[in-house]
Structure 1
Amino acid sequence: MKSLVASWQFWALMSACFAALTAIFAKVGVENVSSDLATFIRTVVILAMVGGILVATGQWQPPGSVSGRTWTFLVLSGFATGASWLCYFRALKLGDAARVAPLDKLSVILVAVFGVLFLGERLSLFNWLGVAMIAAGVVLLTARL
């Protein structure tokens, strides 16, 4: 069991499960408020939760101990996350969760492409086939037929 909890696959699967719950809970939660207010409330909860985890596990470190490069990329990541969440909640306000969430998962395809273009990662032909299949799945899940 210890090796399972130490694997990236376990945590990625847990992330997918929580992301699915996020879509369902958010769709209900955004029903009677603006999508931007819903995003703000969610963000405050996340901030409190992660802050509590850092303190409880002794992982807090002084902000000055973080390099400038790390700050730059984490701030950019924060802006991208915020923009993603604002767009996601707006989409949930307007559309069905069962269609919004799969379309949002086009990010998987973009991560593969950006990883190759910007990070020098390499994908095999088999991996690219998987990327194409995800794209096809998104089309099938979001189409109104």
Structure 2
Amino acid sequence: MLSWVVIGLAGAAVSGIVSIFDKTVIYRYATTPHTLPLLIGIAQTFVGVVVLAVVRVPEGAEWEPVFWALVSGVVFGLSAQFLIRVLYWNEVSRTIPVFQSYPIFTAVYAFFFLGEELGVVDWLAVAVVVAGSVLISFRPGSGSIRGILLDRAFVLLMIGSAIHGSAHIFGKVAVDELPVLFTHALRSLGLGAVFFAFNLRSGSVDDVRTFVRTRSPALRFVAMNELIIATVGLLLLLWALALGPAALVTALSGARAFFLVVYSTALALVWKGALGEVTTPGVIAIKMVSTMLIVAGVAAIAMGSA
């Protein structure tokens, strides 16, 4: 059997690709911040229905883990609302790594609610991750650290990150009792319901209609991303969560920040202006240093809690 560490890192690498596709749709095709979430809601609801039809309800499944699987999807959707809202207006490699500080919150929740203990190294790692999250939001000449902390985008991302951290706790409770595929189907349905509720608006519906009428490449991006890439990434991370402790698996998923900065910076260097990324030497240096801080922090959480 593959190690949950390998599975978790593979899931993080795949999830980094998801963010690139999301930003491509937002940057090049969507005219409202609700368009992409609506498309994701449609795709994830489809995934949930299809997977549920194939795997069906397992024998002996109790209502409680089923409930927590649905809650995990709903909470995941709520946190993603914060993320996508900010992603619409900001660079992908500055947005996702800040959001990726959610392992901090998962580790705290796991300590209090799942009995997963944290050592001194873990708490030091928390400080490192927070420092990296703040640094990656820094723009040379943009003002003080205090100004960054009070920036609306940063605050929204940290709230979304705290909510997202709890989704992994609910998912862990569910997947400990239910098969991975069945849990994933329920989470997809919960996520889809939230995205429909928040994003079924005239502007986003008009965007989708235009995409369909003009056969926009945006539909291909979303279909490939949500039906294949995102599904694989989510399944890998859920599989790792089924095999390992919530705090450690979630910490490993923070490596998504590293993969994302590598992907987005490489694309921006090859295609100038791609994804709206800034590629001056100073900006790239800040992104790489801060991302490595985040990765080092979450790695320390994993090693310290082993």
State the TM-score, normalized to the length of structure 1: 0.80
User: Do 1:102 and 1:142's aligned partners in 2 also have CA atoms closer than 8 Å?
Assistant: no
User: Do 1:112 and 1:131's aligned partners in 2 also have CA atoms closer than 8 Å?
Assistant: no
C-alpha distance in 2 between matches for 1:13 and 1:19: 10
User: Do 1:39 and 1:89's aligned partners in 2 also have CA atoms closer than 8 Å?
Assistant: yes
**Residue 90 of structure 1 aligns with which residue?**
85
Deviation at 1:49, TM superposition (A): 4.7
Matched residue type, 2:108: V
Q: 2:61 matched to 1:45?
A: no
**Residue 128 of structure 1 aligns with which residue?**
123
Deviation at 1:135, TM superposition (A): 1.3
Equivalenced residue count is 138
State the TM-score, normalized to the length of structure 2: 0.41
C-alpha distance in 2 between matches for 1:36 and 1:114: 30
Spell out, residue by residue over 1:62-87, the C-alpha distance to the aligned partner (whole angstroms, 9 max, x if none). 27843111122112111111112222
C-alpha distance in 1 between matches for 2:127 and 2:46: 38
Q: 2:101 matched to 1:106?
A: yes
**Residue 142 of structure 1 aligns with which residue?**
137
Uncovered stretches (5+) of structure 2, i.e. residues with no partner = 141-306
Paired residues for 1:1-80 under 5 Å: 3=1, 6-31=2-27, 32-33=29-30, 34-49=32-47, 60-62=55-57, 65-80=60-75
User: Do 1:36 and 1:86's aligned partners in 2 also have CA atoms closer than 8 Å?
Assistant: no
Does 32-41 or 68-77 show the bigger shift? 32-41
Identity %: 25
The runs of at least 4 aligned residues of structure 1 exceeding 6 Å deviation read none
C-alpha spacing 1:90/1:63, structure 2 compared with 1 (3 Å): farther
Matched residue type, 2:130: A
Q: Which is bigger in relative contact order (C-alpha 8 A, separation at least 6)?
A: 2
Uncovered stretches (5+) of structure 1, i.e. residues with no partner = none
C-alpha spacing 1:48/1:14, structure 2 compared with 1 (3 Å): farther
Deviation at 1:139, TM superposition (A): 1.3
C-alpha distance in 1 between matches for 2:128 and 2:112: 20
C-alpha distance in 2 between matches for 1:53 and 1:69: 20
